[in-house]
Amino acid sequence: MIARFIALAALVSVSSGIAGPPHRAPPLPAGTISGKVTYTGTLPKLRPIDMAKEPNCVTQHPTPVMTQDAVTGPANSVRYVVVYISAGDQGAPAATDTVHYDQKGCLYIPHVAAMQVHQPLAIFNDDPHSHNIHPLARVNPEWNKSQPKGAPPIRTSWDQPEFIAVKCNVHPWMHGYFVVLVTPHFTVTDSTGEFSLTGLPAGKYTVTAWHERFGTQSQEVTIGGSETKTANFVLTARPY
């Protein structure tokens, strides 16, 4: 009698262990595409940004800031490259965490902000003076709003995928990007130039690397199961 009871209890617990908590399917195997973005060729000369008209910002940068259109790192790595899945992706609902875009020291931080369609975006002014944020959207509706000192953050989102240049009318050197993508698989390289796109189910993917100055390149990568595949990009730099 007790033995039967113990066996039944064991069976129940094992079967519930196999079934897992209710409503969760077993995780699919997921792969990763990773790599590094580097350049060949001659880099354009980065110029120091002249912020003289806004002394507030000059004082915030003890050494002058250089233009950010071709930022590189050690071993010819390229920064601010958006690497993303441009085809083969099943798509996914928009991430709900808010993307922060900051105006500080008369610079956009980060220089390139990548986000999904419909993902919330909050734009902050952390400088002691007005900024005016003008995303030069051509597909999405274009808008142009001032943010005086101390104004609340501008909260918005984008409906269509697009590479949107962002400028500040009042400080013409300020320049950044909103990269709006359908896919949830994207990353923006830092100064190592490295990227890693994880959580990819098995399938054939096109990985695209976009740089504001060095152009776009794509590669096809097939993932089967939970493997990691490497895809490196070598962009061509030109001095002018």
Partner 1 sequence: MGRLFAVVVSVIALVSAAIFAFHVWWLPPDISTHGVRIDRQMNETMVVAGALFVLGQLALAVFVWRFSASETRAVKSFPGGPTPLVVLATVLVGIEILVLTFVGSKVWADVYQTPPAPGSLQVEVLGEQFAFYFRYAGADGKFGAMHPELMSDATENFFGLDPANDTTARDDIVVGSLVIPVNQPVELRMHAKDVNHSFYVPELRIQQDFVPGLVIPLHFTATTPGKYELVCTQLCGLGHYNMRAFVEVKPRADFDQWLKEKAAAL
Partner 2 sequence: MTHGVATGHARPQSFLRRHVFSVDHKVIGRQYLDLALVAVVTGMVLSWIMRFHLGWPETPVPGLGKLAPTGAAGGVITPEFYLALMTMHGTIMVFFVLTTAPFAGFGNFFLPIHVGAEDMAFPRINMTSFWVTLLALLVLLSAFFVGDGPPLSGWTAYAPLSAVGKDAGPGQGVGQTLWAVSIAIFCIAQLLGSLNFIATTLDLRTRGMSLARLPFATWAWFITSVIGLVAFAVLMPACILLILDRVAGTSFFIPAGLVISDRLQPHAGGSPLLWQHLFWFFGHPEVYIAILPGFGIVSQILPVFARKPLLGPRVFITCLIAIAFLSYTVWGHHMFLSGMNPLSATLFSVPTLVITIPATIITLLWIGTLYGGRLRFTSASLFALGFVSVFVSGGISGFFLAQPSTDIYLHGTYFVVAHFHFVMGVAAMFGIFAGTYFWFPKMFGRMMNETLGKWHFWLTFIGVYCVFMPMHYLGLAGNVRRYSAFTDDYLQPLIPLHRFITVAALFTGAVQLIFLFNLIRSRVRGPKAPDNPWEATTLEWSTSSPPPHDNFGGRQPVVSHGPNEYGGAGPRDYVMQADPQ
Residues that bind partner 2 (CB under 8 A): 129-130, 132, 134, 136, 142, 144-152, 154, 165, 167, 169
Q: Which is nearer to partner 2, 45 or 149 (CB)?
A: 149
5 binds, among partner 2, partner 1, none (CB under 5 to 8 A by kind): none
# binding residues, partner 1 (CB under 8 A): 27
51 binds, among partner 1, partner 2, none (CB under 5 to 8 A by kind): partner 1
Closest separation in Å from C-beta 138 to partner 2: 9
CB 178 within 8 A of CB 161: no
Beta bridge partners of 176: 166
Looking from the CA of 53 toward its CB, the CA atoms found within 13 Å total 7
Residue 148 sits in the site that holds partner 1 (CB under 8 A): no
How much of the chain is in helix, strand and coil states, percent to nearest 5? 10, 45, 45
Residue 154 sits in the site that holds partner 1 (CB under 8 A): no
38 binds, among partner 1, partner 2, none (CB under 5 to 8 A by kind): none
Give the Å distances, CA to CA, from 83 to 54, 56, 218. 34, 35, 9
Closest separation in Å from C-beta 76 to partner 2: 30
Q: Which is nearer to partner 1, 29 or 64 (CB)?
A: 64
Q: Enumerate residues 102-141 that contact partner 1 by CB under 8 A.
A: 130, 132
* Tokens found for residue 70: 């071709």
Place of tokens 């900024």: 131
* Tokens found for residue 196: 């890693």
Q: Which is nearer to partner 1, 5 or 240 (CB)?
A: 240
Residues 6+ positions from 152 with CB-CB distance below 8 Å: none
Q: Which is nearer to partner 1, 79 or 175 (CB)?
A: 175
CB 189 within 8 A of CB 71: no
Closest separation in Å from C-beta 53 to partner 1: 5
Residue 37, burial from CB neighbour count under 10 angstroms (0-12, 13-18, 19+): buried
* Tokens found for residue 187: 């990353």
Chain residues binding partner 1 by CB under 8 A are 44-45, 47-53, 67-69, 130, 132, 144, 146, 165, 167, 169-173, 175, 212, 239-240
